[in-house]
Amino acid sequence: MKKKKTSTLLLFFIVLVSGLLFACSNGNDNGDGSVELRFIAANHPWTEAIEPLLPEFEKETGIKVKFEKYFEDQLTQKLTTEFTAGSTSIDLFMMRPLQEGKLFNLNGWVADISSYTDDADWEYGDFTDPSVNSLKADDVLFGIPIVTEREILYYRKDIFEENNIEVPKTVEELMNVAKLLNDPANDFYGFVARGQSAAAVTQFSSFLYGFGGDFFVDGKATLDTPEAIEAFQFYGDMLREYGPPGVLNMSWPQAAGLFGQGKAAMYTDADSIYPNLTDPEKSVVGDKVGFTLFPAGPNGQTPYNVTSWGLAVNSKSENKDEAMEFIKWATSKEVVAKLQDNGVPGPRQSVWDNQQGTDTFPSELVDVINQANAIGREYDRPLVIKVNDARDIIGTVIVAAIQGEDVEAAAKAANKQFQELLDDEK
């Protein structure tokens, strides 16, 4: 009898534990009938700033919001997999319109929310045009902007004053100043920007436009036009000649870190990362940071001005109205003002025009942002479906340029690949 017991016990144990395991994996039932929204969010200052405000919303509406936070790449992966599997449990999510927007919209994963825009209290018309445009396709509105970004030039006021130098207004001046201030022997560099291939593409874009280039025009890849090659060459020369060692491994945390340690005179990147440079806990040059408009290229002044994050509703969600309630609240004038007060640059013109909404921003920066809002271009990367592939392809030219290799050859090779990608997507 006993022997039988041991083996059946073993079997029982297996069944028991596997039962437990499977029981662990599901269980987001909400018994009490109230709506709980499942919100897939990014790990982003916006998320951090809105979480403390959430109780207000929950009290006002009785709708509960459950945050799930992911890092950028994992967020894309999470959303893609869940949507492919036809998930209905996600109600709303954060997305990068320029990165995923086209794909998500084509696949029908995002709900058209244009019918909600006539709410007078919400004042949809107050969102800046460029910020909304990246969330539109034909007549479909598939998201609401929450964070906007422009590329600007950060510089060290103290060093410029010491050397009696004017702030560069053109890329030519940019290079001259970088050359002048570059002092590698003392571990100080004239210029820093992203050099890590795919990550650099967005910050390179403003240079590309300034030189008169673009990623593609009418379905034709334009990475090897003379203008584009000149831009690649310029960006590479700047970082090779006047940039810090190891720039090829720098995305913004590294580049911003270097600038924050006082090791570079100038830095071009998105305006939204300015708190990293001014926060005394993260930066030793906090009070010495100057902000200015991205310098003009031979073809004019065209920094990007993009919506880096938006909120969207899952087209299969069963709680679309409630999700929209949340979005309207989160993008209302009051909340955007509060978020902007925490250093998150928002999409509403009225908030930018309002003293209270710009209080915490350095006033110089507000000017720069307002100017850039007017002239900026609405994308900082090619608007294709396979954005990641495209960025990797374009990144190869940037890397080649920084290394001082044959830029034209690299651009030609990249252009061919990029054209294939474009043809593929037709």
Partner 1 sequence: MGMWIERHLKFIFLFPSIIFVLLMIAYPIGYTFYLSFFEWSMSSLQPPEWVFFDNFKALLFDDPRFWPAFFRTFYFTALALVFQTVLGVAIAILFNRKFRGNQLVKTLFLLPMVATPVAVGLVWLLIFEPSIGFANQFLNSLGINPQLWIASPEQALPSIALVDTWQWTPMITLITLAGLSSIPSEYYEAAAVDGANSWQNFWKVTFPLLLPTIFSAVLLRVIDAIKQFDLIYAMTRGGPGFSTETLNIYGFVNGFQYFKLGYTSAILVLFFMIVLGISSIIMILRKKTEVTL
Partner 2 sequence: MRKAKRLTYFNYVLIILVTLIFIFPFIWMLIASFKTQAQIMSTDTALFFQPTFDNYRSVFGEHNFLTYIINSFIVAFVSTVFGLILGLPAAYAIAKYKQQKLGFVILIARIIPGISFMIPWFIIFTKLNLTDSYTALVLSHMLVGLPFIIWIMIPSFEGLPAELEDAARVDGCTLQGAFVKVLLPLVMPGIITSSLMSFILSWNNFMFALVLSGEKTKTLPIAIFNFMSYSEINWGALMAAAVIITFPIIIISLFVQRYIISGVTAGAVKG
Question: With contact defined as beta carbons under 8 Å apart, do 127 and 144 qualify?
Answer: yes
Binding mask of the shown chain, residues 224 to 263, with x at each position contacting partner 2 by CB under 8 A: -----------------------------xx-xx--xx--
Ramachandran region of residue 61, left (φ > 0), alpha (ψ -120 to 50) or beta?
alpha
47 or 233: whose CB is closer to partner 2?
Answer: 47
The tokens 């004019």 sit on which residue? 300
For residues 339 and 270, give the distance between their C-alpha atoms in angstroms, rounded to a whole number: 18
| Partner from partner 2, partner 1, none binding residue 103, C-beta < 5-8 Å depending on class | partner 1
| Partner from partner 1, partner 2, none binding residue 108, C-beta < 5-8 Å depending on class | partner 1
Question: What is the helix (H) or strand (E) element at residue 308, kind and residue range?
Answer: strand 305-313
Residue 10 sits in the site that holds partner 2 (CB under 8 A): yes
Per the DSSP assignment, residues forming a β-bridge with 293 are 152
For residues 36 and 31, give the distance between their C-alpha atoms in angstroms, rounded to a whole number: 10
| Partner from partner 1, partner 2, none binding residue 386, C-beta < 5-8 Å depending on class | partner 1
Output Rg (C-alpha) for the chain, integer angstroms.
24
Residue 412 sits in the site that holds partner 1 (CB under 8 A): no
> Shortest gap between Cβ of 379 and partner 2 (angstroms)?
23
Do you know the residue count of the chain?
Answer: 426
Of 108, 109, 107, 114, nearest to 136 (Cα)?
114
| Partner from partner 1, partner 2, none binding residue 69, C-beta < 5-8 Å depending on class | partner 2
Residue 78 sits in the site that holds partner 2 (CB under 8 A): yes
The interface with partner 1 within residues 71-110 (CB under 8 A) comprises 73, 77, 80-81, 84, 103, 106-108
The tokens 């673009």 sit on which residue? 214
Question: With contact defined as beta carbons under 8 Å apart, do 54 and 155 qualify?
Answer: no
The interface with partner 1 within residues 226-245 (CB under 8 A) comprises 244-245
- The footprint of partner 1 (CB under 8 A) covers 3-4, 7-8, 14, 73, 77, 80-81, 84, 103, 106-108, 187, 195-197, 244-249, 258, 263, 385-386, 388-389, 392, 395-396, 399-400, 403, 413, 417
